[in-house]
Structure formats: C-alpha cells, structure tokens
Amino acid sequence: MAVSDHQLLEAWKQVLKLSKLEKGQTVTILTSASTHPQTLAMAQIAVQSMGAILNRLDLPPVNAEKALSRDPLAYLGTTPLTGNPAAIAMLKASDLVLDLMTLLFSPEQIDILKSGTKILLAVEPPEVLVRTVPTEADRARVQAHSAFLGKGKQMSVLSEAGTDITFALGEFPVISEYAFVDEPGRWDHWPSGFCFTFPNEGGSNGTIVIDKGDILLPQKCYTSDKIVLTVENGFATKIEGGVDAELLREYMASFDDPEGYAISHIGWGLQPRCHWSTMMLYDREQSIAMDARAYEGNFLFSLGPNNEAGGNRTTACHIDIPLRNCTVKVDGKEVVRNGKVLDEAVK
Ligand SMILES: [Fe+2]
C-alpha cells in the first residue's frame, strides 16, 4: 500500500525530533541510484521544516561487478566513500547524515562517526518506514534489554529444532538499535528494534539448526528444510542439510574468504511492528527485509565481519539469520522463551 506524502513527512519529523535535530544544524542526505524518491523528498522537507541546513550528496553505486544480488547488504566493505576524502569531509562536517544509500559496515562510516556526526540509515520502502516509525518506548525497551545483555558473560541458545550453542561474551560492546540517533557519533537504522553483541573471538561452540521456515538474508528466502551449522571456536565449520544448505554453502564459497564463516553479531528482536511473515509479501528487490531482522522474539545471528563493534574482521560476506522459536539465556537466565520475549527478565 502506498503512503501519502503527509504520512511519510510526519514519520520523518518524528524520527528527526527523536534524533534531537536542532535549528541551524547541518544535515546531509546521502543518496545513490536506488534511493526511493518519496523517501528523499519527504526527508528534505522534514529537515528544512525544522530549520536545519540541508545538503545532498549523491554518489554513484559501486560493487555491481562483485555483488551477486542488488541487495545493498550483499557485498560489504567498499562503498562510494572508499578513497573519496572530499565526500568523507562533507559528511564529517555534518551534524547528521541521513543515509539513503547504505554505508553499513564500512571503515569510512566508522571514521565519520568518530568525528561526532550521527548517521541514520533508512532504505526500506516508504510504507515500511511509516509502519515502523520509532518511539521513545522502543528506545527504553531496547536499552533495558541491552543493559541485561551487557552484564552477561555467556549466552546460550536452545531450540526444539536442535539448536544448542553457547557464546562467550565480554570482549565486545552491546549495540542497541532503536531507529533514531539521539547521541553524537551514534549510528542507527530505521526500522529496527533489537539488541546484539558479538561473541568473544573463538568463543562460540555448538550447533545451530536453521529450521524449516526460518529466514536467510540477503537471500531473502524462507528455508524449506533444516540447515545444521556446526560451530567450533567461533567459526561455522560445517553447513549440512539438503538443497538449502547446498545453496548457502555455494553462496558463501563464492566469496572465497574463510573469515565469512565467523560468527558475527548475536542478539534478539524486540520490534512488535515488524513481522516474520512480511518478507513473503515483497519482491526481493523491494526491501532489505528489516522486518525479518527486528521481529519480536527472534534470535538473530549472523556470519561475517565484527568490525562494527571494534573487531578486526572485515569480510565482504555477511549473512543474517533470524531464527524462530528459540530460547535465549544470558548467564542462565531466560530472556526469550520459545520465541517469546520475557521483559520481566530485564527489569
Ligand atoms: Fe547483520
């Protein structure tokens, strides 16, 4: 369903207000070939309506010759900012960057954030943005769960499908995503609503079973059969199952990078306005499937880089895998039980 300009404009205003945009601050909207015109148009009006100085920086897309799909998360590391100090300087000189292009996981993004610039990524279709416009309550809930996760030394995840794995914690910070940027140097993604961290280097061991109906990203497919990952000392060492496992193995092998098999971020979804079933309603090129990453009660784990949290691993291969019906425990205390979030655990 299309959204009206008015609805999207109001959504942008809410996000900018929550992001504490002030009169006279400088906002740069970063765009590229796939930026949605309505999202851009309403972002520009919202920024100006709040008395901020508006810039646009439009950069050509890169990576087409290497990426295997049009999904902006399918190939990470190099961006239109790579080797582009003029563009980096413009973004560093901005108070807020609205990233309608997708800079995620790039060293340039980390560098820009260190200067104090805030970055908010927003590339989902307008109707998804409107449905998932964030609230202060989203922030409070995500931060409560993040604080709980941040105290943990071990996360364990179990499921009836056969997942049984432990992750040692403490080496990397916890990251809260609540879809607005209210602190200098903060990055966030609209839509979102989840908390995560990264396991200690070498500290993941066990079995993860991706059950029938779970989701692989950026493939944007529901699996039709179980995929069993054997995880040893931080890396997926076996990917077994039927044709879904074979497809995943072949996709990952195409990167020819052993670092792509490392366990990356681990956490759980907290956004009730996102849904497991939404992805099937979209063509693959319409969305990056943030619903799948953020729906309430998922256990979201991933394979690939850990530089987002200060680690050294930068690989172009990144797979996000939200699982249903898992029980997640931190230091033995359940916070998600069979896919249901237990808010009382974090109070
Ligand atoms: Fe990810």
- Checking if the pLDDT of 308 tops 90, the result is no
Q: What is the pLDDT of residue 7?
A: 98
Mean pLDDT check: name the lowest of 98-112, 159-173, 196-210, 256-270.
98-112
CA of 302 to the centre of ligand 1 (A): 6
**119-146 mean pLDDT:** 98
With a CB cutoff of 8 Å and minimum separation 6, the contacts of 334 are 327, 328, 342, 345
- Checking if the pLDDT of 105 tops 80, the result is no
Four-CA torsion 87, 91, 93, 95, nearest 10 degrees: 170
Q: What is the pLDDT of residue 314?
A: 87
In the chain, beta strands by DSSP E: 26-31, 53-58, 96-99, 118-121, 154-159, 164-168, 175-177, 187-189, 194-197, 204-210, 215-216, 221-222, 227-232, 235-241, 263-269, 299-303, 319-323, 326-330, 333-337, 340-341
CA of 295 to the centre of ligand 1 (A): 14
Mean pLDDT of all residues belonging to the chain: 96
CA of 50 to the centre of ligand 1 (A): 32
With a CB cutoff of 8 Å and minimum separation 6, the contacts of 4 are none
**269-287 mean pLDDT:** 96
- Checking if the pLDDT of 325 tops 90, the result is yes
State the distance between the two ends of the chain, measured CA to CA, in whole angstroms. Answer: 38
CA of 25 to the centre of ligand 1 (A): 31
Q: What is the pLDDT of residue 194?
A: 98
CA of 303 to the centre of ligand 1 (A): 8
CA of 138 to the centre of ligand 1 (A): 20
Sequence letter at residue 17: K
The answer to whether residues 27 and 44 touch, using CB atoms and an 8 Å cutoff, is no
Percentage of residues in the chain having pLDDT higher than 90: 90
CA of 301 to the centre of ligand 1 (A): 8
Paired tokens of 102 = 């997708």
- Checking if the pLDDT of 20 tops 90, the result is yes
**177-195 mean pLDDT:** 98
CA of 147 to the centre of ligand 1 (A): 20
CA of 183 to the centre of ligand 1 (A): 22
Give the Cα separation of 242 and 68 in Å (integer). Answer: 22
CA of 56 to the centre of ligand 1 (A): 27
